[in-house]
A and B are shown apart, each in its own frame.
Chain A
Amino acid sequence: MFSLHEKEDTIVALATPQGVGAIAVIRLSGKDAIKICNRIFKGKDLESQESHTIHFGTIRDGDRIIDEVLVSLFIAPKSFTKENAVEISTHGSSYIVNQVIKLLIRNGARPAKPGEFTQRAFLNGQFDLAQAEAVADLIHADSETSHQAALNQMRGGFSGEIAKLRGELIHFASMIELELDFTEEDVEFASRDDLRILVEKLLRVVEQLISSFDLGNVIKNGVPTVIAGKPNAGKSTLLNALLNEEKAIVSDIAGTTRDFIEDEINIGGVIFRFIDTAGLRETTDVIESIGVSRTQEKMKTASLILYLFDLGDTDMVEINRDINKLENLGVPFLKVANKLDKANDQFVNELKANHPDTIFISAGQKEHLDDLKSQILALVNLDKFKTGNTIVTNIRHYDSLVKTRESLLDVLHGLDAEVTNDFLAMDIRRSLHYLGEITGEITTDDLLANIFSKFCIGK
């Protein structure tokens, strides 16, 4: 249980990613945030400054200067958490960051738990539930595109679209309820044809949101990618080449990336997550092992496979056989020929003739990697995202939308089967209920208010 007393604490955490950068931002939030910071800050008296001001000064441990910093002040409720908040921009050394945080803790702050800033923001009424979840996503956002999707959701894009949808459904439900409860009244009821048009329209929007989920998921979690190839094909060399190229190692476990085959690599703003296919590595004949079911499952969960082979160590028969197997797998794949620098020209030409879409690289020399990257990006369809549409990235929202779709389809089936309105109403209510799981429940009072404001009812 989240205790009341914890809520009174002032919490501190590093707000920028761990690791080396030019600057780092340390964030404090809570009643005493400004007071605590003031204790270790030499410059202006922070407690007598206005909200939304920035101050230059030094952080000192006694007489020792730890760093020159910029301090931004946010006075409650005008902050992200709606509490007093301070952001300290220090130089981006992990030593400095650790020193400053330790100092703040010694002066009364407490390390924040994961997500606690967002939780406070939410508890203090900063967001609705959908937005709060988007903020959590934003905090975990690792790349440009996922950042944008989260931002879009936070600006209310998602809530807005759902709200609009719900408004239409509520009207729809009211019309049905009107007919059910006030059957004796002398009022005109909505035509079933109009209702059908409306439901179909709603379905299209819901479908769109649902289909954005896969894309949204890819943006958030990265495109699951497998490099398939024999151990000597240059798999880890390629991985390292891509990693070094981007200098953007975003693995959660710092310092361990080299030991893992699973890595996240940011290519053109999209995260690609390289899945650990340990099963593959242990088999001498890699592509043979595609037949092994466990490995095959791994491969199937990938959105993209890079089929990597050594030009000097592979013959055309082997390549054709492997490609045939990959085609049967049904996952998009790229044919990547490695070690171009050591390749035999005749074989390269033969390969170009047989498989014109082969990408030739030299991972060890970091040559032609741009070709590979643009081909990889081309396989990921980001059109929808670029048009700025709402993208669903949250599994809970996705589930609710799928159930909304089910219920809306049930409404259509009901219309087809010419069931009476009480049954239609049930499916409409289910639709509203599932939408409500995202944005909050609709009550019958809302329906009745809608009816009474529009129709003359009663004897």
Chain B
Amino acid sequence: MFPNYDVIVVGAGHAGCEAAHAAAKMGSRVLLCTMNMNTIAQMSCNPAMGGVAKGQIVREIDALGGMSGIISDKSMIQFRMLNRSKGPAMWSPRTQNDRMRFAEEWRLALEQTPNVDFWQEMITGLLVKDKQVIGVRTSIGLEIKGKSVVLTNGTFLNGLIHIGEKQFGGGRTGEGAARGITEQLVQLGFEAGRMKTGTPPRVDGRSLDYTKMEIQYGDENPEKFSFSDETKPLTKQHTCWITYTNKEVHQTLETGFDRSPMFNGRIQGLGPRYCPSIEDKINRFAERERHQIFVEPEGWNTVEMYINGFSTSLPEDVQYEAMRKIPGFENAKMFRPGYAIEYDFFPPTQLKLTLETQLIDNLYFAGQINGTTGYEEAASQGLIAGINASLKTQEKDPFLLKRSDAYIGVLIDDLINKGTEEPYRMFTSRAEFRLLLRQDNADLRLTQLGHSIGLADNTRLEKMLDKKNDTAKLINDLKQKKLSPEGINEGLEDLETATIKEKITIDKLIKRPQLGILDIMKLDDEIGQYLSKYDKEVIEQAEIQIKYENYLEKEQQMVEKLSNMENYKIPLNFDYLAVTALSAEGRQKLHKIKPETLGQASRISGVSPADLSILTVYLGR
């Protein structure tokens, strides 16, 4: 009934879809298993993609040839470039999406990808032989053979949903939990843990009074995620709204605290500090009189609204009462209450940098099973796992991204070396080379790499190369072309920036904080005409590279400085346990993770600077 697949993907969320698509694109025969074909690529939480650090990840996925950017573009209802007032490294694209269209677009894209087969059933176990995975077992007892398996189970592994004092098994509201896999993995020697996340109530948009809220518009000139020409920016956008909680809301919520699974100890998993439930916010930051609430539409046509900022697992009656004290929510009708969900994860320190497990060959983990949170984090892991599963079955070298290559590199390096105690979310501050890992240059950083493994197509590569060459040419020209005082001083005065005394090359003007290339186009007709030949993206790229040249150079130097540590290899058979001088924790962690370089060792949590010095001494430096 089934062929011997190259890659079997278990779970069809953000991670599973990217994994299946990437592997199939690279020529692998792929089977995508899901418990329900109608819920492929669900946005289980907020109907949005991107945001600070996450938007950069989506751009990176797209640059490599993944699908999340294109799917997001096709289903977006609003686009905003966050942090425009900050430097270019902070510019972060974010879209509000039509939840149903997002799922539909993904399913259609996968259906149109040659080499992807589907199977709808719960996978209850793995087929393992000699420490190597050889397939999966289904709930009705089918055995499906595969050379590699990617597990992307999300919150489904022994998922347990909490609403007040009620609790029931499930991977999402209305969907059953997945059983069997955790137990088998633990038996195989994996360490498992429990995590918790939550989601807010959904309400009927017709019952809200928007006049009492602030409107949040999309960008005036919206952009998009994908570098490819396959998608277009929006011409029409939806708005969102902002409102605030108040003391009354907080007091009402507090009446339910004794029935809160968060506070009565029923929830054992650890939730994220940065995405707290509303009861957690009130509890931990009692001095705050209000908290922000974002009202986000779930789609173009639906009236369903997502109440971002109001994640809660309090009893539904308390949720309801409290919510109705929020300005604009006086008559709110609830579609469904918020809930908390606990699920199994496997500390990611048990993985290799390819996301293959250390214990079982050809078995890969991606997404929440690794203790991460977020669609973007999941999708990027799925992509890397899918790529590497495919490469391994083709007996090719693994595909690894360094911390200085991409946020995706930072994410995986952090997971493997530090593990995570709480659901791991990407922040720009996690990337030490943030200035280099920008959304505007994701294609310049990664498309060639994506192309070299057969994922990004020729059109993408050519487009990127054009952008790169044009940018280099433009920068070169701007460093040579001069403007004279007579020609532009008047214009400079209008722009409230210092006039010039003698001829000056254009790049020097661009370095002024008040001036951009667009301003300079207006200063001089000839230059304006010359510049208008260039693509908007090229102009933006040239401006960033000129304006921030000094900073970018300094950062590049840091990359090179630190790469010395990265290049310092530790022998594979190095016996950490014999080095009694290492701290007990450092010794155990090093033994477990077996870092390949001193640089990697330095990032393992529990490995102290003193441990590193000791290692360097032992390694003869």
A contact set with B: CB distance below 8 Å: 1-2, 4, 119, 122-125, 128-129, 177, 180-186, 410, 417-423, 425-427, 429-430, 433, 436, 439-441, 443-445, 447-448, 452, 456-459
With an 8 A cutoff between CB atoms, is B583 at the interface? yes
CB distance from A1 to the nearest CB of B (A): 4
In whole angstroms, what is the CA distance A456 to B581 when docked?
A: 41
* Interfacial chain B residues near A123, Cβ < 8 Å: 581, 614, 617
Q: Which of A2, A417, A439 is in CB contact (< 8 Å) with B609? A: A439
Please report the C-alpha to C-alpha distance between residue A286 and residue B591 in the assembled complex, in whole angstroms.
66
Which of the residues A180, A419, A445, A452 comes within 8 Å of B605, measured between beta carbons? A445
B435 adjacent to A441 (CB under 8 Å) = no
A-B contact pairs, 20 of them (CB 8 A): A122-B614, A122-B617, A123-B617, A124-B581, A125-B610, A181-B429, A183-B90, A185-B292, A421-B90, A422-B87, A422-B434, A423-B551, A425-B434, A426-B555, A430-B558, A436-B609, A441-B609, A448-B427, A457-B274, A458-B281
Name the residue on B nearest A406 (C-beta): B554
Contact A1 B428 (CB under 8 A): no
The answer for the CA separation of A430 and B562 in the assembled complex, in Å, is: 12
Given A445-B605, A456-B285, A420 and B90 contact (CB-CB distance below 8 Å): yes
When distances are taken between beta carbons in the complex, the residues of chain A under 8 Å from B82 are: 183-184
B residues whose Cβ falls under 8 Å from a Cβ of A? 46, 51-53, 82-83, 85-87, 89-90, 272-276, 281, 284-285, 288, 290-292, 294, 308-309, 311, 418, 427-430, 432, 434-435, 513, 548, 551, 554-555, 558, 578-579, 581, 583, 602-603, 605, 608-610, 613-614, 617-620
Give the distance in Å from the alpha carbon of A184 to the alpha carbon of B513 in the complex: 24
Could you say which residues of chain B place their CB within 8 Å of the CB of A427? 554
Decide if A183 touches B86 in the complex (CB within 8 Å): yes
B-chain residues with CB within 8 Å of residue A185 when the two chains form the complex = 292
Asked if A447 and B429 make an inter-chain contact with CB atoms under 8 angstroms apart, the answer reads yes
Q: Are A457 and B513 in contact, with the CB atoms below 8 A?
A: no
Residues of B within 8 A of A445 (CB): 418, 605
Q: Are B428 and A181 in contact (CB under 8 A)?
A: yes
Q: How far is it, in angstroms, between the C-alpha of A65 and the C-alpha of B449 when the chains are bound?
A: 77
- CB-defined contacts of B290 to chain A, threshold 8 Å: 186
B435 touches A422 (CB 8 A): yes
Cβ of B605: which chain A residues have Cβ within 8 Å of it?
Answer: 443, 445
Q: Is the CB of B427 within 8 A of A181?
A: yes
- CB B92 to nearest CB in A, in angstroms, measures 9
A302 to B: closest C-beta gap in Å? 35
CA distance A444 to B428 in the complex (A): 10
A452 and B276 CA atoms in complex are apart in Å by 11
Question: Contact between A177 and B273 (Cβ–Cβ < 8 Å)?
Answer: no
A458 in contact with B435 (CB, 8 Å): no
Pairwise interchain contact A429-B427, C-beta atoms closer than 8 A: no
Set of chain B residues within 8 Å of A448, measured between Cβ atoms = 427, 429-430
Q: Could you tell me the distance between the alpha carbons of A412 and B281 in the complex, rounded to whole angstroms?
A: 36
Q: Which residues of B contact A447 (CB under 8 A)?
A: 429
Q: How far is the CA of A69 from the CA of B284 in the complex (A)?
A: 66
Residue on A nearest B557 in the bound complex, by CB: A430
**Bound CA span A183–B84, Å:** 11
Q: Which residues of B contact A129 (CB under 8 A)?
A: 609-610, 613
Cα A181 to Cα B288 with chains together (Å): 20
Quick one: which of B86, B308, B311, B578 has the most chain A CB within 10 A?
B86
Complex contacts, B275 vs chain A, CB 8 Å: 458-459
Q: Interface centre among A119, A439, A440, by most B CB within 10 Å?
A: A440
Write out the residue numbers on chain A whose beta carbons fall within 8 Å of the beta carbon of B272.
458
A-B contact count (CB 8 A): 131
Asked if A125 meets B294 with Cβ closer than 8 Å, knowing A423-B551, A426-B554, A448-B429, the reply is no
- Sorted from nearest, which 10 A-B pairs have the closest CB atoms? A440-B609, A123-B581, A1-B620, A456-B285, A177-B429, A452-B273, A420-B87, A422-B87, A458-B275, A458-B274
A128-B609, A456-B288, A458-B275 are contacts. A418–B513 as well, Cβ < 8 Å?
yes
Q: Which of A426, A433, A436 has the most CB of B within 10 A?
A: A426
Within the complex, the shortest CB–CB distance from B423 to chain A, in Å, comes to 11
- Residues in B whose Cβ lies below 8 Å from that of A1: 618-620
Q: Which of B46, B578, B581 sits near A125, CB closer than 8 Å? A: B581
With a CB–CB cut-off of 8 A, which chain A residues contact B554? 410, 426-427, 430
Complex Cα–Cα for A445 and B620 (A): 30
Minimum distance in angstroms from A33 CB to a CB of chain B: 17
**Once bound together, how far apart are the Cα atoms of A422 and B87, in whole Å?**
6
Closest B residue to A418 using CB positions: B513
**In whole angstroms, how far apart are the Cα atoms of A220 and B199 in the complex?**
63
On whether A426 and B435 interact (CB within 8 A), knowing A4-B579, A180-B428, A447-B429, the answer reads yes
B558 / chain A contacts, CB cutoff of 8 Å: 430, 433
Distance, CA A417 to CA B548, complexed state (A): 12
Question: Are A4 and B609 in touch, CB under 8 angstroms?
Answer: no
- Verify A186–B291 contact, CB threshold 8 A: yes
Distance of A54 Cα from B52 Cα, bound (Å): 66
CB of B548 within 8 A of CB of A444, answer: no
B89 is contacted by which of A4, A125, A422, A430 (Cβ under 8 Å)?
Answer: A422
A369 CA to B292 CA, complexed, in Å: 80
Q: Assuming the A-B contacts A418-B513, A445-B605, are A2 and B618 also in contact, with contact meaning beta carbons closer than 8 angstroms in the complex? A: yes
B-chain residues with CB within 8 Å of residue A439 when the two chains form the complex: 609
| Interchain nearest-CB distance for A425 vs B (Å) | 8
Assembly CA distance A441 to B562 (angstroms): 12
Least distance between A176 CB and chain B CB atoms (Å): 9
B432, A423: Cβ atoms under 8 Å?
Answer: no
Q: Are B52 and A426 in contact (CB under 8 A)?
A: no
C-alpha spacing A344/B284, complex, angstroms? 90
- Complex Cα distance, B64 from A252, in Å, reads 63
**Are A180's CB and B52's CB within 8 A?**
yes
Q: Are A183 and B609 in contact (CB under 8 A)?
A: no
* Chain B residues, Cβ within 8 Å of A182: 52, 274
B57 to chain A minimum Cβ distance, whole angstroms, is 14
Complex Cα–Cα for A54 and B302 (A): 87
CB B593 to nearest CB in A, in angstroms, measures 16
Q: How far is the CA of A418 from the CA of B551 in the complex (A)?
A: 14
- The reply to whether B548 and A423 contact each other, CB–CB distance below 8 Å, is yes
B291 touches which one: A122, A180, A420, A456 (CB < 8 A)?
A456
